[in-house]
Structure 1
């Protein structure tokens, strides 16, 4: 793909998301989502192999179905209330349809069927865009309509997503699929808190984006496609591997790392709302995710698979232009816990 076309697609991707995030009219928000979807399809399929074509097709079909549901729910709401305002969602049929449509767009369980397969068939860069930037537009709609969405459906889908993300990630060996199920589990935590405290939803989303970007950049830098690949990357850069291990532990929510903040505050809010059984089950489900994060961290830093390299460390490194933002995000992914009061303000 030529740089000019690639730049145009990235600008269209950004424009679609910004249109959706800044609009208060359902048609404009829907147009932004469509621009966003049409811009990411060529990026997913730019490798020109059957896997990427299949991934692009699956992504297009699921996103088109979700967009149709969003348009249908807004039409029902406009027909019954006479307004196209996003915040004026008052009919039962429209907010149930919208909740299901946004859940499909995000990849919440049980509508998550497309996400692991699309991530596995994409390049690392495309996978990073899908699990980070592509979550902004649907999350902004959830934020704007949080008072009108079905709380029961969001809580149930959040709980199922947390359990599915942890359970299904246990037997994965591909790093992209592990990150896909990690994304599903984190989205479950966000869906749980969406209808209770929107400020905490925004903070959780920002921390999720930070941790995911840091993890994907480290995977891209080390070219690790499987768990076995991570066990041979220690010779590339021991310091990068230490930061990668801490980022994985932060994704698991261990204190005193950054990823502990959202889990701690969400469990606190669920307890305040007398949803103690839900908080207990989600805390137990988080242990499933923590297990495969620990397994990945163990193979990254404490094991060394048989390989043909005779030296302990490589004496020559390939220059990486993305090292500065990668180092910055990985450091923030580890050390933001003391800034919790400022993040909540």
Structure 2
């Protein structure tokens, strides 16, 4: 892709997210979401592969439907209340419809079916943008509208996302689908606590972005898209294989890695809110997600390559991409847990 066109598209991504962040009017927020969607469409279809074109078409149709639902709901709310403020949605019907539209935007269960299929058709770097940056603007709107949304709906979305994200990832062999179901599960953890402690949602979102970025970038360096490909990781680069294992365990939420921090804080907050049953269900769904991360770790470190594999083995890791972002994300993913008190002080 032409570097000038790439610069314009990336600038448009930043502009759309910034516009949504800074707006208090539903029309401006909707415009920001649309700029975001239109900017990532050429990035998704740049390889002209049938799978990429199919994924781009699916993504465009889903996002267009969600945007139309947001516009319809905000217009209905303005007709009822006479104002367009994002935080002013007293009607249960409009607040519920808006929450489901935003859930469709970010892929919360049960509106999650498009996300694994779309992510599977993209290259790893575009999938990284879809899994991280594209979550920011809808999450900002969800945080602003959560106080007018029925708590039962938020709890149901959170439990369903965590359960489906963990359960559906168990039988997957494609790494991009596994990361897609990981995204669904992590979104469930953020939604479950958003009504009680929005700052914990921000902490969970930040740690998720760092961990997912580290996972996508390491898989990009390894040129790995299937679990079978990971079996040749250790002979190619033992250090990178060990680091990737720790990144996957951090995504699973094992201490003393960074991924344990948001899960621990969220379970603690649910317990404080006198919701032990919800906290127990969330803890059990975390075990489902941890299982398929352990499958990846087992493939990378405890198995050898079979005699016949479906992909050609590359016995050297050759990468011309800059390593600074990769090193930064890996360092944060592996070592941020001890500064949890400082992070809590900054967010309260």
TM-score scaled by length of structure 2: 0.95
Pairing 1:86-235 to 2, within 5 Å after superposition:
86-235=86-235
Shift in Å, 1:179: 0.2
SS at match of 2:146: coil
CA contact under 8 A between 1:243 and 1:331: conserved in structure 2? no
CA contact under 8 A between 2:92 and 2:149: conserved in structure 1? no
CA contact under 8 A between 1:169 and 1:178: conserved in structure 2? yes
CA contact under 8 A between 1:116 and 1:180: conserved in structure 2? yes
CA distance in 2, matches of 1:243, 1:150: 42
SS at match of 1:145: helix
Would you say how many aligned residue pairs link Structure 1 and Structure 2?
341
CA contact under 8 A between 1:30 and 1:67: conserved in structure 2? yes
Deviations 1:111-166 (A, max 9, x none): 00100000001111111111100000000101222211222111101101101001
Structure 1, unmatched stretches of 5+, are: none
CA contact under 8 A between 2:92 and 2:148: conserved in structure 1? no
CA distance in 2, matches of 1:38, 1:333: 31
Deviations 1:211-263 (A, max 9, x none): 00000000000000100101102233211111111111111111111000111
CA contact under 8 A between 1:253 and 1:260: conserved in structure 2? yes
CA distance in 2, matches of 1:16, 1:218: 28
CA distance in 1, matches of 2:121, 2:281: 32
Moved more, 137-146 or 233-242: 233-242
SS at match of 1:286: helix
SS at match of 2:233: coil
Q: Which residue of 2 aligns with 1:60?
A: 60
CA distance in 2, matches of 1:337, 1:320: 31
CA distance in 2, matches of 1:267, 1:152: 17
Shift in Å, 1:319: 4.5
CA distance in 2, matches of 1:74, 1:213: 33
Shift in Å, 1:93: 1.4
CA contact under 8 A between 2:222 and 2:317: conserved in structure 1? no
Deviations 1:51-91 (A, max 9, x none): 11110111011111111111111111111111111111211
CA distance in 1, matches of 2:64, 2:321: 36
Answer yes or no: is 1:268 the counterpart of 2:268: yes
CA distance in 2, matches of 1:167, 1:317: 33
RMSD between aligned residues: 1.6
- State the 4+ residue runs in structure 1 displaced beyond 3 angstroms: none
CA contact under 8 A between 1:86 and 1:145: conserved in structure 2? yes
CA distance in 1, matches of 2:95, 2:257: 37
Answer yes or no: is 1:71 the counterpart of 2:64: no
Answer yes or no: is 1:300 the counterpart of 2:311: no
Structure 2, unmatched stretches of 5+, are: 309-313
CA contact under 8 A between 1:232 and 1:307: conserved in structure 2? no
Shift in Å, 1:322: 2.5
CA contact under 8 A between 1:99 and 1:150: conserved in structure 2? no
